[in-house]
Amino acid sequence: MDDQAKIALLQKVIQFNTVNGNEQPLAEYLKEVLAQHHIDSQLVKFADNRTCLVAEIGNQPGKVLAFAGHMDTVATGDPAKWKYPPFSGEIVNGNIYGRGSVDMKGGLTAMVISLIQMKKAGLPKHGKVRLLLSVDEEVGGQGSMLLTQKGYADDLDAMVMGEASSNQLEYAHCGSFDYEIESFGKTAHSSRPDLGINAVANLARFIDGERTAFADAQPSPVLGKVIHSVTVFHGGEQLNSIPDYAYLKGNVRTVPECDNEETQARLQKIIDQLNKQGAQLRLKVVASFAPVVTDPHDPFISLVSDAVAATKGSKPKVIVSHGATDASRYSLAERPFSFVEYGPGDDRQSHQINEHLLVDDFLQAPTIYQKIAEKFLI
């Protein structure tokens, strides 16, 4: 494919509205594109109008390398605030605009192109390259969980996650534990609070306990301390009534030393203590992504770094990330594999109004992915 064909493919991918819950049309389109280049793929249904895609090239004995990404995006926000329509894929001053251009249709399109290029070149000579494109990454990661449960990650030796990485190579990321706390009370007139149970006040007591819930948690030598925040609080309806219901939501960025299971236990401990004192609180787990850490000395990190340098002229900075990816799900597979995150785009553009991707950055990515495969599958 020449550069214009690559850009046109990315524009077409951006023009699909795949705000979480609407990924199937894009999956079907990419299946057709791959078929035109003699690459077989499978559609793996998750739910109505929600379909993952799995493709593979190479059938010789050897290692298995995965290129992974997600097709869904976050919502656009107010379209009137965009300079260019959020599903236009319009190119202005060397940037391509659109929801998902950075997070992460640039990366997944580059991975599709890399498979096409390798297939045409008769590569790989050894092993396999597997493309895993999921649904639902932006909400619950249920697409990658489905692919993991179906065994698509069980034989992997390494994975490249194509999330935008700002020309940096990320070899580890925190987990993410999303939760909701419900508080149940009893309504009464505000002049007689003794006759009621204040659901808001009891929920506020949970926040007091949450502030120090991780104070003694062991930090990770790679990822650092646990990061935790209460981010949503709702309660009460009537100014002069004791509220009988309230809820909050929070997020914890977990590390292996204080993983998601321990995080849940620490939050539940606060709830149990408050419930013994008369509160009626209930914990609900909204989403749980495990932390993922590759050994900093893993040779795969150096291999990917060399592939980037061979294309861009300099090695990327090797860092860790506090975000979470589908790798949290894939890492639950039967055996461990090396993991890095590298993709085109400035990750500060993710989820932003006027999200845009530098076209030149995108055009270099398929070559980088192909070099990774060539170096790894020998």
**Can you tell me the mean pLDDT for 136-159?**
96
pLDDT at 128 over 90: yes
Distance between terminal CA atoms of the chain? 25
- Contact at 8 Å (CB) between 211 and 274? no
Percent of the chain at pLDDT > 70 equals: 100
For residue 140, pLDDT over 90 is answered with no
Cα–Cα distance for residue pair 341/197, rounded to 1 Å: 49
Distance of alpha carbon 337 from alpha carbon 66, whole angstroms: 10
Rounded mean pLDDT, 14-30:
97
In the structure, what pLDDT confidence band is assigned to residue 77 with cuts at 50, 70 and 90? very high
Question: Where are the domain boundaries for CATH 3.30.70.360 in the chain?
Answer: 175-289
Residues carrying an active site annotation: 72, 137
Q: How many CB atoms sit inside 10 A of residue 151's CB?
A: 10
Residue 323: per-residue pLDDT: 85
Could you tell me which residues come within 8 angstroms of residue 183 by beta carbon, excluding any fewer than 6 positions away? 199, 200, 202, 203, 206, 235, 245, 246, 247, 279, 280, 281
Tell me phi and psi for residue 356, to 5 degrees.
-150, 155
Which CATH fold would you assign to the domain 175-289?
Alpha-Beta Plaits (3.30.70)
Other Cβ atoms closer than 10 A to 334: 10
Question: For the segment 303-323, what is each residue's pLDDT rounded down to a tens digit?
Answer: 999 999 999 999 999 999 988
Residues 6+ apart with CB under 8 A from 242: 185, 186, 187, 188, 189, 190, 193, 195, 196, 197, 198
Cα-based distances in Å from 325 to 115, 292, 345: 22, 9, 16
Closest CA to 200 of 268, 267, 247, 269: 247
Q: What's the Cα-to-Cα distance from 262 to each of 51, 228, 267, rounded to whole Å?
A: 33, 13, 9
Q: Given pLDDT bands bounded at 50, 70 and 90, which one contains residue 273?
A: very high
Q: CA 161, 163, 168: angle at the middle one, nearest 5?
A: 95
Distance CA 280, CA 302 (A): 52
- Residue 326's alpha-carbon distances to 37, 132, 280, in angstroms, are 27, 10, 34
Q: Is the dihedral of CA 160, 162, 166, 171 positive or negative?
A: negative
DSSP state for residue 186 in the 8-state scheme: B
Partners of 53 in the β-ladder: 43, 133
Q: For the structural domain made of 3-174+291-376, what CATH number should be given?
A: 3.40.630.10
Q: DSSP state, 315? A: P
Q: What is the 3-state secondary structure (H, E, C) of 245-289?
A: EEEEEEEEEEECCECHHHHHHHHHHHHHHHHHCCCCEEEEEEEEE
What pLDDT, in 10s, does the model give residues 221-266?
999 999 999 999 999 999 999 999 999 999 999 999 999 999 999 9
Which pLDDT belongs to residue 377?
A: 97
pLDDT of residue 364: 98
State the span(s) of the chain assigned CATH 3.40.630.10: 3-174+291-376
- Closest alpha carbon to 297 in 171, 200, 166: 171
Per-residue pLDDT reduced to its tens digit, 183-197 = 999 999 999 999 999
Q: Which helix (H) or strand (E) holds 201?
A: helix 199-210
Dist CA 275 CA 202 (whole Å): 9
Specify whether the CB–CB gap between 213 and 266 falls below 8 A: yes
Alpha-carbon distances of 18 from 50, 98, 107, 226, 378, rounded to whole Å: 10, 12, 15, 32, 36
Q: Which pLDDT band holds residue 333 (cuts at 50, 70, 90)?
A: very high
The per-residue pLDDT of the chain, averaged, comes to 97
- Write out the two tokens for 122: 């008769």
Q: Where are the alpha helices (DSSP H) in 92-186?
A: 106-120, 142-149
Output the six-digit token pair for 31: 């299946």
